Amino acid sequence: MPDVVIVGAGIAGLTAARELVAAGKDVVVAEARDRVGGRVLNARLPGTEQFVEVGGQWIGPGQDRLRRLLDELGLDTYPTYDTGLKVAELGGRTLRYRGRVPRLNPLVLADIAQAQARLDRAARRVPLESPWLAQGAARTDGQTLATWLRRNVRTATGRAFFRLVTEAVWCADPEEISALWAQFYLHSGGGIDSLINTTGGAQQDRVTGGMQGVATAMAAELGERVVLSAPVTEIRWTDDGARVRAGRRQWRAKQVVVAVPPPLAARLRFEPELPAERAQLLQRMPMGWTIKVNAVYDEPFWRQRGLSGQANSDRRMLGTVFDGGRPDGGPAVLVGFLEARHAQVAARMDAEARREAVLDDLAAYFGPDALRPAHYVERDWAAEEYTRGCYGAFATPMTLTRFGQWLRGPVGPLHWAGTETATRWAGYVDGAVESGRRAAAEILGQVES
Amino acid sequence: MPDVVIVGAGIAGLTAARELVAAGKDVVVAEARDRVGGRVLNARLPGTEQFVEVGGQWIGPGQDRLRRLLDELGLDTYPTYDTGLKVAELGGRTLRYRGRVPRLNPLVLADIAQAQARLDRAARRVPLESPWLAQGAARTDGQTLATWLRRNVRTATGRAFFRLVTEAVWCADPEEISALWAQFYLHSGGGIDSLINTTGGAQQDRVTGGMQGVATAMAAELGERVVLSAPVTEIRWTDDGARVRAGRRQWRAKQVVVAVPPPLAARLRFEPELPAERAQLLQRMPMGWTIKVNAVYDEPFWRQRGLSGQANSDRRMLGTVFDGGRPDGGPAVLVGFLEARHAQVAARMDAEARREAVLDDLAAYFGPDALRPAHYVERDWAAEEYTRGCYGAFATPMTLTRFGQWLRGPVGPLHWAGTETATRWAGYVDGAVESGRRAAAEILGQVES
């Protein structure tokens, strides 16, 4: 009988397993898919030894838990290509610019700067361990981020800017997200600039061999403790232990770590049923939606023209693009995101039409060479049974205030992990690492729970 | 092989089954519980032949589909006791009154009247078949009902009134609900007065023998077609049919009706996976939360004192109370609701403390005789695995606009029923009947789908 069964072999579950094994515990990691890594994945390019990353792929400053894990696993990083001009289409204008912000009309710039300062300031006042204790929490949580922005951003272009930021950060509309969740999340990741910047921000670096290496390296250490193709459906528990069922497989254990996103946790059957508050919480944490696209070219033609490969638009389906290659060789890649309602519209198109629309957008940003990629790889995480959305879950209005305490709080022998349960870099790979470590620490009696 | 498998033997599923059988179809109704009726249920009082209703129990004017079904099933109705003074605690005052509204300060009354007229007017403009086509839908759907009320209600007491109405109607906070969903729902049920009134409103009448009789009468007609204790977990489907699995049982059928609330529909496994848009919808339709209490007395002492048994309070846990007995005899019952955050607080108390708190509230409304009931029956629907909330699901901001089309739209051989999918009286028993009929009509080719 293992000490702990961990449900889900994403970064959170694998990290928890690794920590527990290091402390001498016997663990089983039950994974629904036939692979580890969850929302982190390489995709090999057909007929080559090369790959692109179709899931989480960046690490930035302040992501210290992930950084430490990379060091422990012997994985290197390299900088995201961040040289040359960026392209921004905003408020009817197309701008090419260097640095942090495009040269917009000064009134618009002042409007954006003021609203951003206000939002970041409010965010810093939200306690990361207990956002529901923020001053005025109920009032902030009782409105959507859209309502907050409507009150605090005055210019149309300013509003378009924050809508674009919302789509890029949460893959959802500002109308869907609680303003308190948004503030918590911004604080959790160090503020708006920290989240959206490349150098100096969350997109600063990449992992050599791909972020997937974090998962595969941990899984290699864990060996046969990781059981693939074992979708857990039922957990029977008492205060003394649990039985975890996945098809015909079943494990008994003293404790369990559930390390899957909220909408998947909601699908598990618990016997006895979990407290209603936890069920109500999980009904109120939907996932964002992004389709990630990698277009691979023979040459990084945009670099040759002095472009960074970074682009954003408030009027194109492909609203966010980065250079997805190494600065110093390897495949030339543009990596783009169809976010929120753009993902929804794109998912309704047939694959060929979607590809064309994406390449047309890339061509508008970077020139007609974009129309002829050598490889085109897309991934719709919302369509996958064992993910159901991306990047992560967010909280709808009033959810944190009413039910937030149930996000991390253990129930009997049951512990909860996953990036959505993190206090720092919630929604990022780093948050997944934090959550796995914290769940392990709970089990090892190292934190009060 | 049956023609149709129906998942869920609540009112929606049973109605669909009954319609299909009447049209000559072979059906199986798979029900997870060991009883039919879903959110409609009688509870026998220990040591007596008497019962109280612990689920949906009222029928009102305009609920024509339910009325017709009652006629077909030979079930009678009787009026809710609605004689005598009502009690209202609002804005720091306690008022006893007759008629529709308590005698509040004229400024407050004008404020409430104006806001109610505005809300009802906006509601009437929301198309019931497609709320997302309402004028300004995105803007309305992009804010919480709380934001709408903050803009449209000026007095503190007026705001307390609408908060109380929200809790009573949706068992949720106005901060949780999309303003567009609220308007759709109000239109669907004929407006605020129609929803909250007793005589002339949704609480006007009761079913002799209890609303449960609707379910048991239909189940009796269906006989062995209804299979109890068969929790469906998996539906494998193609365009030509489906295999529905419940534990070791499995049925093949040409078509399937899923007639369970959204958070339960989200727990089913579909192979192939449903379109991402439907999954995203179901992540955004949480259930309200109410604990329903029946206190049964030897005598209807409140009637003897000229009180109607109806009470509301903006400061008590038990915010809404009705007389739950027959006007002309039978058990003397006060039926109360712990709604939204009051349910949440109450669920954390131990049973004895909760009972005391409820009885204290009843005593404050109706006098100290309330402290000594002969029977005390409570039901927390949110704690039940196969319900997970009550009365029904609502939509969080932007859900209707982005994903509303997936609420009813069939997918291959899969059809969706349940009161949340209704266009009229969504959330009520009548809406469940509509949804069952509509799903059956889709299968019989009587509606475009």
**CB nearest B402 (choices: A144, A283, A344):** A344
A301 among annotated binding-site residues: no
Q: Do B276 and A383 touch (CB under 8 A)?
A: yes
Domain end (from B192, B223, B258)? B192
Query: Are B313 and B248 within one domain?
Result: no
Q: Which residue has the tokens 């803007």?
A: B139
Q: Which residue of B has its CA nearest to A393?
A: B283
Question: Which neighbouring-strand residues pair with A242?
Answer: A237, A253
User: A145, A175, A236, A399: which to substitute to probe chain B, counting the most B Cβ within 10 Å?
Assistant: A175
Phi and psi of B325, rounded to 5°?
-100, 175
Residues B298 and B379 grouped into a single domain: yes
The answer to whether residue B69 is domain-embedded is no
Q: Compute φ and ψ for B376, nearest 5 degrees.
A: -135, 120
- Domain membership of residue A371 as a residue range: 42-63+77-82+201-209+289-383
Predicted confidence at residue B446, as pLDDT, reads 79
Mean pLDDT calculated for residue range A309-330: 96
At residue B181, the pLDDT reads 98
Round to whole Å and give the CA distance between A313 and A364: 11
Contacting residues of A for B347, CB less than 8 Å apart: 275-277
* A269 and A400 housed in the same domain: yes
Gap between the Cα atoms of B58 and B77, Å rounded: 9
Asked if residue A93 belongs to a domain, the reply is: no
Of A143, A162, A192, which one is at a domain's C-terminal end? A192
Which pLDDT band, with edges at 50, 70 and 90, does B329 fall under? confident
Domain containing residue A364: CATH number: 3.90.660.10
Both structure tokens of A168: 């890029």
Report the residue of A396, A399, A400, A405 to disrupt the B interface, i.e. the one with the largest count of B CBs within 10 Å: A396
Residues of A with CB under 8 A from a CB of B: 138, 141-144, 146-147, 173-176, 233, 263, 266-267, 269, 273, 275-277, 279-280, 283-287, 289, 341, 344, 347, 380, 382-385, 388-389, 396-399, 401-402
Residue of B nearest to A271 (CA): B385
Cis peptide before B272 (omega within 30 of 0): yes
Q: Does the beta-carbon distance from B143 to A141 stay under 8 Å?
A: no
What ranges make up the beta strands (E) of B188-343? 205-207, 226-227, 234-238, 241-246, 249-253, 255-258, 269-271, 290-297, 307-313, 318-323, 332-339
Using a CB-CB cut-off of 8 Å, the residues of chain A touching B397 are 144, 146, 175-176, 396-397
pLDDT band at residue A448 using 50, 70 and 90 as cut-offs: low
Measured between beta carbons, the chain A residues lying within 8 angstroms of B344 are 276-277, 280, 402
- What stretches of A197-355 adopt beta strand conformation (E)? 205-207, 226-227, 234-238, 241-246, 249-253, 255-258, 269-271, 290-297, 307-313, 318-323, 332-339
Report the Cα–Cα distance between both ends of chain A, in Å, rounded. 24
In which residue are the tokens 């040409």 written?
B254
Over pLDDT 70: what percentage of chain A? 99
Greatest Cα-to-Cα distance within chain A, rounded to the nearest angstrom: 66
What is the nearest CA distance from B395 to chain A, expressed in angstroms? Answer: 10
Cβ-defined contact of A273 to B142 (cutoff 8 Å): no
| DSSP calls for A361-390 | HHHHHH-GGGG--SEEEEEEGGG-TTT-SS
Residue B380's beta-bridge partner residues? B291
- Does B142 sit within 8 Å of A175, measured CB to CB? yes
Q: Same domain for B236 and B217?
A: yes
- B181 Ramachandran zone, left/alpha/beta (phi>0; psi -120 to 50): alpha
**A143/B147 CB distance under 8 A:** yes
pLDDT exceeds cutoff 80 at B449 = no
Residue A32 assigned ligand-binding role? yes
Tell me how many domains chain A contains.
3
- Lowest model confidence (mean pLDDT) among A98-112, A258-272, A303-317: A98-112
Give the pLDDT of residue A100. 81
% of chain A residues with pLDDT over 90: 97
The H or E element containing residue A21 is helix A11-22
Decide which of B133, B157, B192 is a domain's last residue.
B192
H/E element holding A354? helix A351-366
Q: What is the pLDDT of residues B188-205, one digit of tens each?
A: 999 999 999 999 999 999
Q: Is residue A100 in a domain?
A: no
CB contact under 8 A, A275 and B383: yes
Among B106, B116, B200, residue whose Cα is nearest residue B153: B116
CB contact under 8 A, A283 and B389: yes
Q: CB of B217 within 8 A of CB of B75?
A: yes
Residue A258 in domain: yes
Interface test with B, best of A152, A176, A350, A380 (most B CBs within 10 A): A176
Residues A139 and A275 in one domain: no
| DSSP code of residue B192 | H
Q: How confident is the prediction for chain B on average, in pLDDT?
A: 97
Residues B205, B308, single domain; the answer is yes
| Contacts (Cβ under 8 Å, ≥6 apart) of B69 | B15, B214, B433
Instruction: Spell out which residues of chain A touch residue B138, defining contact as CB-CB under 8 Å.
Output: 175
Of B169, B173, B184, B175, residue with least CA distance to B137: B184
Query: What pLDDT is stored for residue A449 in this prediction?
Result: 46
Name the token pair of B355. 């009972």
Query: What residues in B contact A247, CB-CB < 8 Å?
Result: none
Quick check: is A95 in a domain?
A: no
Return the DSSP state at A301: H
Same domain? A257 vs A269 = yes
Q: Is the pLDDT of residue B447 over 90?
A: no
Q: What percent of chain B has pLDDT over 90?
A: 97
pLDDT at A333: 98
Cβ–Cβ gap A173/B142 under 8 Å: yes
Helix spans in B130-255 (H)? 137-141, 145-152, 156-170, 179-188, 192-196, 212-222
Name the residue among A176, A267, A401 with its Cβ closest to that of B266. Answer: A267
pLDDT digits (tens, 9 = 90+) for B130-162: 999 999 999 999 999 999 999 999 999 999 999
Nearest to A273 by CA among B298, B259, B382: B382
> In this structure, is residue B72 part of a structural domain?
no
- A345 marked ligand binding residue: no
- The answer to whether residue B248 scores a pLDDT higher than 50 is yes
Tell me which residue of B269, B196, B262, B257 sits closest to B395, measured CA to CA. B262
B216 pLDDT higher than 80:
yes
What does the pLDDT read at residue B416? 98
Cβ A276–B143 below 8 Å, yes or no? no
pLDDT (tens digit, 9 = 90+) per residue, B401-445? 999 999 999 999 999 999 999 999 999 999 999 999 999 999 999
Instruction: From residue A193, give the alpha-carbon distance in Å to each of A61, A178, A423, B364, B441.
Output: 12, 20, 18, 55, 54
From the list B258, B318, B220, B206, the residue with the least C-alpha distance to B18 is B220
- Which pLDDT score, from 0 to 100, does residue B448 have? 53
pLDDT value at A447 more than 80: no
Q: What are phi and psi of A427, to 5 degrees?
A: 95, -10
Are both B323 and B364 inside the same structural domain? yes
Identify the CATH number of the domain in which residue B161 sits.
Answer: 1.10.405.10
Pair A131, A177 in one domain: yes
In this prediction, residue A403 carries a pLDDT of: 98
How far is Cα B400 from Cα B425, in angstroms, rounded to an integer?
A: 17
B360 shares a domain with B275: no
Handedness of CA B152, B154, B157, B159 (dihedral sign): positive
Answer yes or no: is B249 within a domain: yes
Q: Taking CB atoms and an 8 Å limit, are B402 and A173 in contact across chains?
A: yes
CATH at A228 = 3.50.50.60
CB B16 within 8 A of CB B299: no
Over range B314-320, report the average pLDDT.
98
CB B61 within 8 A of CB B431: no
Residues B205 and B225 in one domain: no
Is there a domain that residue A72 lies in?
no
What is the per-residue pLDDT for B12?
98
Interface of chain B toward chain A, CB-CB under 8 angstroms:
138, 141-144, 146-147, 173-176, 233, 263, 266-267, 269, 273, 275-277, 279-280, 283-287, 289, 341, 344, 347, 380, 382-385, 388-389, 396-399, 401-402
Taking alpha carbons only, the member of B306, B310, B312, B304 closest to residue B324 is B310
Nearest CA to A20 among A410, A433, A440?
A: A440
Examine the domain organization and report whether B358 and B431 are in the same domain: no
